Amino acid sequence: MFVGYRYFETFAPDAVQFPFGFGLSYTTFGHSGVTFQAGDVVRVAVDVTNSGARASRQVVQLYVAAPDGALAKPARALVG
């Protein structure tokens, strides 16, 4: 049995249903410059720009998908 965001993702496993802070912002943001480096350590970077009229901040989230093993795993897990 999954709880929290893992439970809600079972309704539509191909899309995040309720991202962190869903519906709480009074402004808009743009995302660009996404880079990805994989090795012993995985590094992901993104530029976030406030494109709205109000001052605000945004949290960037990183989700990963892992193959099922002996036990079921969520379609994606929040890792950063």
Give the model confidence (pLDDT) of 11-45 as tens digits.
Answer: 666 766 666 666 667 888 999 999 999 999 989 99
Contacts 24+ apart (CB under 8 A), 58-64: 58/21, 58/25, 58/29, 59/20, 59/21, 60/31, 61/19, 61/20, 63/16
Given a cut of 80, whether residue 5 has pLDDT beyond it is no
